[in-house]
Amino acid sequence: MRNVLIVLSGPSGVGKGTIAKKLTEKNQNISLSISCTTRCPRDGEVDGREYFFIEKDKFLEKAKNDGFLEYSNHFENYYGTPKDFVMEKLKTKDVLLEIDVNGGLNVKKSYPEALLIMVAPPSLEEIENRLINRHTESLEKIKLRMQRIDYELEKANLYDYTVVNDDLEQAITEIEQIIIKEKNKQI
Ligand code: 5GP
């Protein structure tokens, strides 16, 4: 059986963080990757646990030397998936990345054996109604968030699998079955 690089993506609020946490807690063979970032640690964050916190110069140097499976810029800070770190872990375990759709598609370009799984909400109307009823965001902001969700889900057809998170335990079981199937695949 091969060790698999698993990418979990999906719109915000879909529950992928919970799924990633539960998957790694339940399955000792799955290890969560740690990204590099140039942003400062927040209170309680520890270098090497939430992120590897590195200087911008060092980040750009690493990027130039092909040291990332993918990287991008969010809110003026860089974030990237460190190639050596992931490849070393993959020697003994499956590795899970929780990144956005564009990051996932870039991983597939640099590492085509990666398994891309999209977590989708049961219904878009339900998310929209939940946001509206929360009264925490303006209708305009909600519209923008819904457009982003549409954009991400549109890319789902480029992913290997889409799992609907209607029932959390069922979604986790489905993902575990996909991983087992991939581990047994000859490539
Ligand atoms: P935060 O600063 O709140 O921890 O993360 C900001 C954004 O960076 C989030 O959308 C998060 O998903 C994204 N991010 C974290 N690590 C990576 C990474 O390795 N690659 C990419 N492309 N985005 C990341």
Q: N- to C-terminal Cα distance for the chain?
A: 11
Probe residue for ligand 1, chosen from 50, 74, 119 as the CB with the greatest number of ligand atoms within 8 Å:
74
CA of 164 to the centre of ligand 1 (A): 22
User: Which atom of ligand 1 is least distant from the CA of 80?
Assistant: 19
Q: How many whole angstroms from its chain centre is CA 171?
A: 16
Residue type, 131: L
Average pLDDT, stretch 90-102?
96
Residues with CB under 6 A from ligand 1: 35, 39, 70, 72, 74, 79-81, 99-100, 103
Q: What is the pLDDT of residue 51?
A: 96
- Please write the tens of the pLDDT for every residue from 82-91: 999 999 999 9
Three-state SS string over 21-43 comes to HHHHHHCCCEEECCEEECCCCCC
Q: Determine what percent of the chain is predicted with pLDDT higher than 90.
A: 79
Kindly report the average pLDDT of the chain as a whole number. Answer: 94
- Tell me the C-alpha distance between 147 and 153, whole Å: 10
Strand order in the sheet with 161-164: 30-32, 94-98, 5-9, 115-120, 161-164
CA of 115 to the centre of ligand 1 (A): 19
- Please write the tens of the pLDDT for every residue from 127-167: 888 888 888 889 999 999 899 899 988 988 999 999 999 99
Nearest-CA residue for ligand 1 atom 2 is: 39
Among candidate residues 74, 152, 81, 77, the one with its CA nearest the CA of residue 110? 81
The CB density around residue 78, as the number of other CB atoms within 10 Å, is 20
User: Which atom of ligand 1 is least distant from the CA of 100?
Assistant: 12
- The DSSP secondary structure of 123-169, one letter per residue, reads -HHHHHHHHHHHT-S-HHHHHHHHHHHHHHHHGGGGSSEEEE-SSHH
